[in-house]
Structure 1
Amino acid sequence: MAYQISTALAIYFVLWWVTLFVTLPFGVRSQHEDGVGAPGTDPGAPILTGMRNKLIWTTLLSAIVFAIGMTAYHAGYLSIERLSKLMGMPF
């Protein structure tokens, strides 16, 4: 049981980081796009990143994807036997 919980947490942790990297570019405005910026800074540097909203969206999206994956796993769609058969590899 402890292995199942720790494995699920590890999978969620990796999924959360992947989702974070997917959501990072959305809604970022650079200094060049806004026409403002401190002298000596890179024009591509972001003005406002909105990290709080991105962290909230990342948590929600990764929880939804994780729930879908766990549902598929418990329904038998993500078993090793089924996935190896789909890839044409003998189990």
Structure 2
Amino acid sequence: MTLISGLVLYAVFWFMALFMILPLFVRNQEEAGEVVPGTSPGAPDEPMIRKKLIWTTIAATVLWIVVFLVIESELISAADIASLTGRPD
């Protein structure tokens, strides 16, 4: 894996993790019982962005390390994937 492909793969994992983690543990203002005037009742009460960004980074890093080790150890090669799809090498 080259440096650029590693960075791109990490970015993909990071954004996927971010979009999965963002909706977790969100209470809207209506559920909290305190709607700020001029905002939507569905707006988050406390979005906890900093914690979510930290958890996103941890999740993406762990996943990237696992995939990196699988690729570098050649546990699964491109030929293995080609044989699963039925395409010739």
> Relative contact order, CA 8 A, sep 6+: which one is greater?
2
Q: How does 1:1-91 map to 2 (within 5 A)?
A: 4-91=2-89
Q: What whole-Å deviation, never above 9, does each CA across 1:6-49 have from its counterpart, x for those lacking one? A: 11011101111111001001111101111111234221110111
Which segment drifts farther, 35-44 or 19-28?
35-44
Q: Secondary structure at the match of 2:40?
A: coil
Q: Kindly state the Cα deviation for residue 86 of structure 1 after the two structures are TM-superposed.
A: 1.8
What secondary structure, in the 3-state scheme, does the structure 2 residue paired with 1:63 have? Answer: helix
RMSD, aligned α-carbons = 1.5
Report the TM-score when normalising by structure 2: 0.89
Find runs of 4+ consecutive structure 1 residues off by over 3 angstroms. Answer: none
Q: Kindly state the Cα deviation for residue 64 of structure 1 after the two structures are TM-superposed.
A: 0.3
* Structure 2 unaligned blocks of 5 or more: none
Q: How many aligned positions are there? A: 89
